[in-house]
Amino acid sequence: MTISGSPKKLCQDIADGYLILTVPMLKNYAPADLKTIVSSIAVVARELRQEAIPLEDVMAIKTRNMKLSRLNQAQVVIQAYCKKRRLPL
C-alpha cells in the first residue's frame, strides 16, 4: 500500500496525536514508503524544534514536547519493525 496523501501531512497527524503507528499498520507499507515516512518525521521534528516559544508559555512548551515525543516514538517503532523484518531503512 502506498502512502495516501502527503507523507509530511501523515507525520503532522502523528505529531498531533490523530494517528498512531502500530506494527499491523506498518505491514501495509513497502520499505520505500517506510523510508519516506522516516525522512518526513525528521522534517516535521526539525520544524517543531525551530519554533520560537517564549519560556513563560508553559503549555506551548508542553504541547511541543508531546509532539516531539510522538514523532520519536513513531520513528522507534518503524526502526524496530525494519530491524526485525531485516528491511533496509
- Cell numbers for 13, please give them: 497527524
Of the chain, the end-to-end C-alpha distance in Å amounts to 17
Amino acid at 37: I
pLDDT of residue 89 exceeding 90, the answer is: no
pLDDT of residue 74: 97
> In whole angstroms, what is the distance from residue 56 CA to residue 59 CA?
9
pLDDT tens digits, one per residue of 19-74: 999 999 999 999 999 999 999 999 999 999 999 999 999 999 999 999 999 999 99
Domain segments of the chain: what residues?
7-85
Per-residue confidence at 5, pLDDT binned at 50, 70, 90? confident
Q: Is the pLDDT of residue 1 over 70?
A: no
Looking at residue 56, its amino acid is E
